[in-house]
Amino acid sequence: MDWIRLKAAELLGANQPLNKKLLLLVGSIVALVVFAINGMTSSQTQKLEALPSLAADEVVVKSATIFVHLVGEVIKPGIYQLESGSRVMDAVFAAGGFTKSADDASVNLAREITDGEQIVIFKQGQAPQIVGGNAGSASQISLNRASQAELEDLPGVGPALAQRIIDWRDANGGFKKKEDLLSISGIGDKLFAGIKDQVTL
């Protein structure tokens, strides 16, 4: 301790009492530290202010797009590019609307469409009917609109399989072709051959 006191006295000069000299030394060190910290903080603040700010209205988020093919009774049949999440009514509107002979009840206008889908608009009197009752009826059952009970009327389709058909339909945005049935667990080639003529999209 005596050695430290002597060194401190040498640094500060011998004309002042040691306690006062120590206070001056400590005060000088504190002042230097504060000055250095202020300088660093000021520099960082200037750098932050120099960064350009991006206004909220400058951020552009592009929606995903999908393609849909409209055929049948619309003014301008063809392939249309729409935003993801669009409905059948959006696709019909993009195609110029229905023709005078279109059966607008032949499609579910509120249904969300999926990428690559084909939408068929039938003429009045030509749309397939959704029926229950006897599976041997001449009318076909719509895979995209039939209820579970109606699907159970198909030969070889029970409650569990009918539910799987509905689950697949909901998960994939509907059936694009009859062969999509083969993607469902429990439907093989034999069962598909027995029901393919009794169903429609």
Give the separation between CA 78 and CA 176, rounded to whole angstroms: 17
pLDDT reported for residue 27: 65
Mean pLDDT of 25-53: 61
Candidate CATH numbers 3.10.150.10, 1.10.150.320, 2.60.40.1180, 1.10.3720.10; the one for domain 129-201: 1.10.150.320
Domain ranges of the chain: 2-44, 61-127, 129-201
Q: Is a pLDDT exceeding 80 seen at residue 1?
A: no
More confident: 36 or 52 = 36
Residue 5: phi and psi, rounded to 5, are: -60, -40
Q: Write out the two tokens for 102.
A: 């279109």
Q: Is a pLDDT exceeding 50 seen at residue 131?
A: no
Q: Is a pLDDT exceeding 80 seen at residue 137?
A: no
| pLDDT confidence tier of residue 90, bands split at 50, 70 and 90 | very high
- Longest alpha-carbon distance in the chain: 120
First to last CA, the chain: 97
Fold held by 61-127: Ubiquitin-like (UB roll) (3.10.20)
Exposed (0-12), middle (13-18) or buried (19+): which is 32, by Cβ within 10 Å? exposed
Is residue 18 within 8 A of residue 11, CB to CB? The reply is no
Mean pLDDT of 75-90: 90
- Range in 45-59, 74-88, 121-135 the model is least confident about: 45-59
